[in-house]
Structure 1
């Protein structure tokens, strides 16, 4: 009876040991990840992108790397063409090329972010030194970002690191330069405001000239149309209107033309 109990106990121990060994020799590769087996220090060329991987935990391990787009943040002081230093926060959007992950781990190692930072520092120094500090705070910032990205790709893309974007954020210009730029922008806004006022005044003056010209032309046309015959007809019409009135009235003329003696038209 005792030997049977010991036998059952040993079987349970063996089963538990086998299950434990099986569980410790499994790795799950989730979406957005890639796994590479490393056996006795040597990396396998096969990249596993999803699923369960079994391996011998005594001789092999599975290295996981992200294949998603990642954000590597840096805070740097960038040089400018005039010799000033501009503080900036940088975001480098990158991802690993799936089929080259073994190459990245062999040639660069798991600390490839440090290499990427070093490459960025070199590229940004070369590019920013060609621009003025104010350019980093203006519309030329996109050109600077693009130039840095292109220069980084020359070194990192062949190694299997894809640079998707370089974003310069929170640009901090030197205090004196920042004040000068603000003053310049304020002066430009004042000039634009004055130009608007002058343009409005010019349009108003043109409107008045057109209005006066129209009134003058109207008077000229009216004066040219008042011939002696028209005046006589209008005078007769006025007398007829007065004749229809029930009020008493006295009209004095010279007997020849329907005008008042004092020269005032009716």
Structure 2
């Protein structure tokens, strides 16, 4: 290499022994390999080196993890699970010897349905078996079971549940990462088969409320009976009962027939009520007429009785002297009339009884009774 190039690289290369002269009297050219390379960095060099090594270790091994709210951490030491779960926050561990598994303890939903719906989630995908969940939502096909007669029925369900945080390490240790399948899915399918198998397909729609209650109760009992109660069950909702087409048609025909019978019974009851109403009106009208007739008859009877009493009183009060007195009074009236009309004729009744008859001969009028 040309001399000028050697000089150039010597100037560019740092000389760690600039202050130590060699035997030739030059500085920096001799004893290149025998010095401490950190001497030029000063007294803080070891500290800086340690910081760099720690930073590199933190970056390379990442001996910490962050547990989010709604999760707990399970610390594993050389393959053994700690019984105490780690709460949300920052936690450190020793790589290789330890690791921390975050587990989702939020409320989850498993649906059993053949209906397709859009994906929903809470954007948290960490946790055991999270690959089968969409933010805590898991979809399964509808549960196919046999009714009492062996017909296939599809049951749509929705189950709300959550992993019990305090026993999460024991649950994962016992049941593994697929604890949902082993606990929730298996128990729900088992209970649905037992309950639906007690009814015929035609009875299922009518007994829907009783069936829903029975499924909820039995699933809760069987999951609660597990050691440590690893899962908190919120609800089991019966959404739909999908019957075979022939059974649906038969039920529909029965329902239509029942509706027709109901309508006929309603019409019959309406006609009966209308007839009763008319009969009540007729009875009321007849009673009114009877009361009016009775009132009129009572009126006539009372008037007749009173008249009879009056006549009897009059008859009892008449005497011969009273009759003669009345005749005298009448005769006096006739005498006064003769003074006005001298041509008048008076006829006395036989025996001298009243009334007497006055005939006005002058005016030729009809006989007129003028006094008593």
Q: TM-score, normalised by structure 2?
A: 0.55
CA RMSD of aligned residues (A): 3.0
Find the residue that maps to 1:91 and give its secondary structure: strand
Q: Out of 165-174 and 202-211, give the one that drifted further.
A: 165-174
| 1:224 to partner: Cα distance | 1.7
Aligned with residue 4 of structure 1, among 41, 65, 69? 41
Does residue 89 (structure 1) correspond to residue 127 (structure 2)? The answer is no
In the other structure, the counterpart of 1:241 is none
Aligned with residue 110 of structure 1, among 173, 177, 187? 177
Aligned with residue 123 of structure 1, among 168, 179, 191? 191
Does residue 28 (structure 1) correspond to residue 66 (structure 2)? The answer is yes
CA distance in 1, matches of 2:217, 2:201: 16
Contact 1:127 1:147 in 2 (8 A): no
Aligned with residue 80 of structure 2, among 42, 54, 79? 42
Report 1:1-266 matches (<5 A): 3-4=40-41, 10=49, 13-14=52-53, 16-17=55-56, 19-20=58-59, 24-73=62-111, 74-75=140-141, 76-116=143-183, 117-137=185-205, 138-150=208-220, 152-153=222-223, 156=226, 158=228, 160-226=230-296, 227-228=299-300
**Structure 2 portions without partners, runs of 5+:** 1-13, 17-39, 112-139, 305-372
Contact 2:167 2:228 in 1 (8 A): no
In the other structure, the counterpart of 2:309 is none
How many pairs does the alignment contain?
231
Find the residue that maps to 1:45 and give its secondary structure: coil
Contact 2:187 2:223 in 1 (8 A): no
Find the residue that maps to 2:148 and give its secondary structure: coil
CA distance in 2, matches of 1:38, 1:68: 22
In the other structure, the counterpart of 1:246 is none
| 1:106 to partner: Cα distance | 1.2
CA distance in 1, matches of 2:70, 2:287: 82
Q: TM-score, normalised by structure 1?
A: 0.74
If asked which structure has higher relative contact order (CA below 8 Å, sep 6+), I would say 1
Q: 1:230 to 1:55 in 2, by over 3 A?
A: same
Contact 2:195 2:211 in 1 (8 A): no
